[in-house]
Amino acid sequence: MKKVTCLCALLAACLCSAGEEGNAGKWKPPENPKDDAHWYPEMPMNKEAHPSLPNGNFEEAAPETPGRLPSPSGWAHVDDYMIFWKQDSDPAHGKCMVIDTDIAEGDAKKRQAAVREAGEKGTPVPPAPKPSRGAGYGAIAGTYGVSFYSERIACKPKQPYKITFDYKGPSGGAKVWVRGWGEFNGEERRRWETIVNCRTKGDGWRHFEQAFHPTRRPTGKDTETFVDISCLRVMLYAYWPPGQYAFDNIKIEEISDDEFKRLKAIPADAK
């Protein structure tokens, strides 16, 4: 029974189901793409896409905003319950993002609702309650996992890229997504994504690197077509096992077609 329960939980986390709007009370999700319109996570909606990923080392603070906790510039807001912007114990890493998935699902939703309400009203964010640990499959780790989005960044047509980042945490319990949005049937929809699985050996920080090509679609052995992807977002994601997961030094860089082919042939295991 535990194996079945765990499998269902992981599938739910990966699909990011859109059927949980009722859990947020009177809160209504922002005008995000329909396939992401559920209680969690927040998706920053900057009007103009950044030319490159902003503040990937998380050192720059966002402007102080009523109803918001101190958060990194260029990213979503933290809740100081599941998502933390904090100084790492290693001085060389400075500020980083830490996701804690050892929180009971019900308490996680209550905290998110409280943080969102404070943001809407511009009132002080209430103090975070004491974390409810040891919920097992009832933790947020075993249902949705926890996600944290960057703001929009521009995507060039026919341009290959690579993402690099540092990660510290349980092996296999986290992923870094790059997701792409473009126009489809007259509206902006999520049309593409790639995933880097954070598999590691040993403790401490590990470095990852992976190539991706958001607008390219192979149509045969030697043929390809290209689709419209206007912007990208990075999504940090952590789930099972319940615990703490840290991310830092995230970069997205343009690369050549030759470099794309070279990197695609290399597994994206931790360095």
Place of tokens 């190539």: 211
Does some domain include residue 73?
A: yes
Residue 248 has pLDDT above 70, yes or no: yes
| Range 255-258 contact pairs with CB under 8 angstroms and sequence separation of 24 or more | 255/160, 255/161, 255/162, 255/211, 256/160, 257/160
In a domain, 269, yes or no: no
Tell me, yes or no, whether 194 lies in a domain.
Answer: yes
Contacts for 36 with CB less than 8 Å, ≥ 6 apart: 16, 18, 43, 190
What DSSP string runs through 13-82?
HHHT-S--GGGGTT----S--GGG-SSS------SSPBSS-TTTT--SBPPP-TT----BTTB----SSS
Indicate whether 132 belongs to any domain: yes
The domain spanning residue 221 has which CATH number?
2.60.120.260
pLDDT-derived band at 20, boundaries 50, 70, 90: very low
Q: How high is the pLDDT of residue 40? A: 60
What global pTM score does this model have?
0.84
Domain count, the chain: 1
- Residue ranges making up the domain that contains 200: 2-264
DSSP string, 97-114: EEEE--SBHHHHHHHHHH
Residue 270 in any domain: the answer is no
**What 8-state DSSP symbol labels residue 89?**
S
Q: What is the pLDDT of residue 31?
A: 38
Contact, 211 vs 130, CB < 8 A? no
Residue with tokens 């902003």: 54
CA dihedral 42, 46, 47, 50 (to 10 degrees): -130
CA–CA gap between residue 75 and residue 87 (Å, rounded): 17
From CA 247, how far away is CA 79, in angstroms rounded? 16
Q: What pLDDT, in 10s, does the model give residues 83-96?
A: 999 999 998 899 99
For residue 74, being part of any structural domain is answered with: yes
Q: What is the pLDDT of residue 12?
A: 39
